[in-house]
Amino acid sequence: MPPARASDDPALRAALARGLDRPAGPDALALAAHLARAFGPATAALIHYGSQAQGSGTGPDSAWDFFVIVDDYTTAYRALAATRPRGFSASRAAFLNRLLPPNVLSVTAPDGGVSRLAKCCVLSLRDLDRACSPAPADHFVRARLFQQVQLVWARDQASRERVTAAVVSARARTFAWGRPFLPARFDAAAYVRALLEVSYAAEIRPEDDRRVDALMTSQGGTMVPIYDALLASLAACGRLAREGEGYRDPRPPGVVTRAFARAWFGWSTTRATLRWAKYVALYDDWLEYVVRKVERRSGVALDLTPRERRWPLLFLWPKALRYLGRRPRRAR
């Protein structure tokens, strides 16, 4: 299996690690340095991901997305609490992170009069390893790490190697979860598109189907070579058959396997949705962030009533469901 070979084959491992050492911009590097200080000595590494890392659909109010990888939640949140206003509970944040990892919270870094917003997904090294293993609790972490990401900061070489190994593992295992959704014949570009479509369908998101097209444009130069190497490895060990310039699965999954895969992703969607309750507790101005993101991705202005702003979890659902039902879909 390629996941096992990735640790034994230096060429495959290097291919699957592609982009991790890609130079980040000065804003991302400055934010990473700020986050490393804010989360204190427990910070092991910072992974930059999302639209700012990929150059896809950013706006003036776009946040910078980071995975903040730590040794221990309690120690990291105690350090962070010292930089935040009174009322932030390190013990509560650590409990929620252990209960349903990762936590997502915002950290604002002042930079010469300009405040930059980092959206932080906080994960322990142990939870990162599990999320990239053959048996993750859900799809949330690997849905982001199989894409174009940058390892912008690491505490030491050991931390860099462990985080790199986790990302390589997540990418090597894409065939296991993507296989039930692949077309009969595909090349690396079609493989990447299938992974993106499955991942976006596994969460309730403000973007419509055209977002996958934008991601293919912005990430294709990095992702297609990554997965071209993986598919070649799968073909070399007999998991795939070559067909012209592409591949086919000689033993495609049956109806039962596909049904189980859809059910598992349904469970993953449930876990992703449950995390929304944590945003209210942890993410500063979470409602404004969501509204801005919806408007940026869809071009649709959301006018909220005073009641919806005051009690969004009670009264915003009808408007949210109407918006999700009206999103444009790609013709198929």
Q: Which pLDDT belongs to residue 4?
A: 47
Q: Give the pair of three-digit tokens for residue 219.
A: 């990430």
Q: Which pLDDT belongs to residue 135?
A: 95
Q: Which pLDDT belongs to residue 1?
A: 46
Q: Which pLDDT belongs to residue 331?
A: 39
Q: Which of 320, 264, 263, 281 is nearest to 100 (CA)?
A: 281
pTM of the model: 0.86
Q: Which pLDDT belongs to residue 211?
A: 83
The 246-248 sheet, strands edge to edge: 185-186, 246-248, 241-243
| pLDDT < 50: residue spans in the chain | 1, 4, 330-332
CB neighbourhood size of 148 (10 A): 25
Q: Which pLDDT belongs to residue 115?
A: 75
Which residue matches tokens 């049956």? 254
Q: Which pLDDT belongs to residue 108?
A: 87
Q: Which of 101, 35, 94 is nearest to 63 (CA)?
A: 35
Q: Which pLDDT belongs to residue 77?
A: 97
